[in-house]
Amino acid sequence: MLSDQPKIRILAAVAHYFDSSGIHKNEFGSYEQENLNSRGLIVDRTIDALIVCLSELGAEFQIQVYGVENQYIRRPDIILENIDPKHIPFLTLDEMHTNLEDFDYFLFIEDDIELPSNILKDLLGIDCHLEIDETIIPNRLENRNGIQFCVDLVAMPGFKNGIKLVNGNVLAQSVNPHSGFMFMSREKFARAYSLRKCLEPTIIIGDFMASALANIHSSLKTYRSLPTSEELSVFHQDSWSNRMLLNGLMKENDLRSLIDEVQNLENLILKDFDN
């Protein structure tokens, strides 16, 4: 960023929750024990990586952790009062919208997303070429037995029609708009918020986190860069695939089949695009 250009102002929101009992009811309906120390390390890595990412971008930024009283590891900057903790993602987006005039860009992440230092710069470089009804989200990666994959496409495979090339990146619209992440300009966020389908916390897909992000992206063409196992990615520290396996909802060979299915689908898209 050139020194004579005004710095962009970014509000970065981290949606954070930890059950103080240490017993967490997951999105699969079963209960699991969460270790305070290991979960604390995840949250710390999320926020530390976020600080590095925003600092390297050269932006003016404010990081706000959103949560509920007595249900956290890192004390929230914004306490959301008298709510069901499952609704934190929806209410966080509502609170962010009240700051619309104070920032140029709005970033929302789950408390288990580790950002590489260059991701926001790369996304900004693409976003400036997109229309007001288009947005880009990163690929949320997990690693299983040395195989790296985009967990959100394994959970909900599929792409919509519409492919474009921006800054050398092949962009495709995914069926799943969830990557634990939202990054929009003020104008795009204002439009997306005004056109969201659900005004109250509502299950649309998956759990309330996935639904909140599906809701805010509902009026937008939401792109991912291909191949999703490599390009424009963030790391999901709290492995969805591992929890699926531990809860008996998926077998190892089923997971591998889904990973292969996504890869084959992407290869077909890239082949058609090259032709």
Domain positions in the chain: 9-274
Tokens of 92: 């966080």
Report the interhelical angle of 88-97 vs 186-194 (nearest 10°): 120
Render each residue's pLDDT in the chain as its tens digit; 275 residues.
Answer: 445 677 899 999 999 999 876 555 555 555 555 678 888 999 999 999 999 999 999 999 999 999 999 999 999 999 999 999 999 999 999 999 999 999 999 999 999 999 999 999 999 999 999 999 999 999 999 999 899 999 999 999 999 888 999 988 999 999 999 999 999 999 999 999 999 999 999 999 999 999 999 999 999 999 999 998 888 999 999 999 998 898 888 999 999 999 999 999 999 989 877 76
pTM for the whole structure: 0.92
CATH T-level assignment (fold) for domain 9-274 = Spore Coat Polysaccharide Biosynthesis Protein SpsA; Chain A (3.90.550)
Would strands 113-114 and 233-236 be described as parallel, antiparallel, or unpaired?
A: antiparallel
Tell me 111's DSSP state: T
The pLDDT score that the predictor gives to residue 15 is 98
The pLDDT score that the predictor gives to residue 26 is 54
Q: Is 146 left (phi over 0), alpha (psi -120 to 50) or beta?
A: left
The pLDDT score that the predictor gives to residue 2 is 45
The residue length of the chain stands at: 275
Report which of 132, 154, 128 is spatially closest to residue 252, judged by C-alpha positions.
Answer: 154
Contacting residues for 2 by C-beta, under 8 A, at least 6 apart? none
